[in-house]
Chain A
Amino acid sequence: GQQLNQSPQSMFIQEGEDVSMNCTSSSIFNTWLWYKQDPGEGPVLLIALYKAGELTSNGRLTAQFGITRKDSFLNISASIPSDVGIYFCAGYLGAQKLVFGQGTRLTINP
């Protein structure tokens, strides 16, 4: 069953606004990965987090690995039209199995 709870499920924002989404779990994860998926494409890795408390940026994207190792958030600043898509958090349950959140569908009104 689903191990990661991702929220919100969807977001409708205006261009230029900041975006925040998060993932929580009842299990401890050693790695958190954030992906973006465009329609009809495979997910693209945005940010990888490895240490509790780690804060990492990739351009306008910032993600943090929660201190408890059971949660993570992703922020997007000053959103632009190409940010539209589905964002997934993912974490390793055990050494090999990557578990995905339900996804956050981002829609931007120009």
Chain B
Amino acid sequence: GAVVSQHPSWVICKSGTSVKIECRSLDFQATTMFWYRQFPKQSLMLMATSNEGSKATYEQGVEKDKFLINHASLTLSTLTVTSAHPEDSSFYICSARGQGAGRSYNEQFFGPGTRLTVL
């Protein structure tokens, strides 16, 4: 399958600081990228969907001013957690889809995730 990378794989920060997470599609052009959040022993929760060159669409209950998403190119999307607080600590996973990534455009490929710990 197609390859999606994420950086960093883990980050520890102080409360009140901002953290940026990068998501890259390595071998295909990702017309749509998604950001998920996952708590321990729970399923993935979609935070937002972004199409290249457009503003992200946020799910209900997700603060767009706190979780800034930029999808400036067909291979890169970033999630910035602004003024992070301990309750923002979680596993953040991006995914991407695009033409040629899989057998169908509907196949979504996930990055390895970023574990954020806010002290």
Total interface residues on A, using CB and 8 Å? 24
Taking CB atoms and an 8 Å cut-off, the chain A residues in 69-110 that contact chain B are: 88, 90, 92, 96-103
Cα(A33)–Cα(B95), bound, Å: 14
Complex contact B46–A97 (CB within 8 A): yes
B67 at the A/B interface (Cβ < 8 Å)? no
Contact A48 B111 (CB under 8 A): no
8 Å CB contacts to A: which residues of B72-116? 91, 93, 95, 102-104, 106-113, 115
Distance, CA A102 to CA B110, complexed state (A): 17
User: In the assembled complex, which residues on chain B have CB atoms less than 8 Å from the CB atom of A44?
Assistant: 1, 110
A43 at interface, CB cutoff 8 A: yes
Question: Number of residue pairs across A and B with beta carbons under 8 Å?
Answer: 58
User: In this assembly, does A59 line the interface, its C-beta being within 8 Å of a C-beta of chain B?
Assistant: no
CB distance from B9 to the nearest CB of A (A): 9
Contacts of B102 in A (CB 8 A): 45, 48
The 8 Å CB contact of A48, one of B46, B49, B106, B115, is B106
Q: Is the CB of A41 within 8 A of B112?
A: yes
Given contacts A33-B108, A48-B107, contact A96 B49 (CB under 8 A): yes
In the bound complex, do residue A103 and residue B43 qualify as a contact, i.e. CB atoms below 8 Å apart?
yes
B58 to chain A: closest CB distance in Å?
12
Indicate if B70 sits at the interface (CB-CB under 8 A): no
Given contacts A96-B49, A100-B44, whether A45 and B115 have CB atoms under 8 Å apart is no
Residue numbers of B with Cβ under 8 A of A are: 1, 4, 6, 32, 34, 42-44, 46, 49, 91, 93, 95, 102-104, 106-113, 115
Binding site for B on A (CB under 8 A): 2, 30-31, 33, 35, 40-45, 48, 50, 88, 90, 92, 96-103
Supply 28 A–B pairs (Cβ within 8 Å), ascending by A. A2-B43, A31-B106, A33-B106, A33-B107, A40-B91, A42-B6, A42-B112, A42-B113, A43-B44, A43-B93, A44-B110, A45-B1, A45-B107, A45-B110, A48-B103, A48-B104, A50-B104, A88-B43, A88-B44, A90-B108, A92-B106, A96-B49, A98-B46, A98-B95, A98-B108, A99-B46, A100-B44, A101-B43
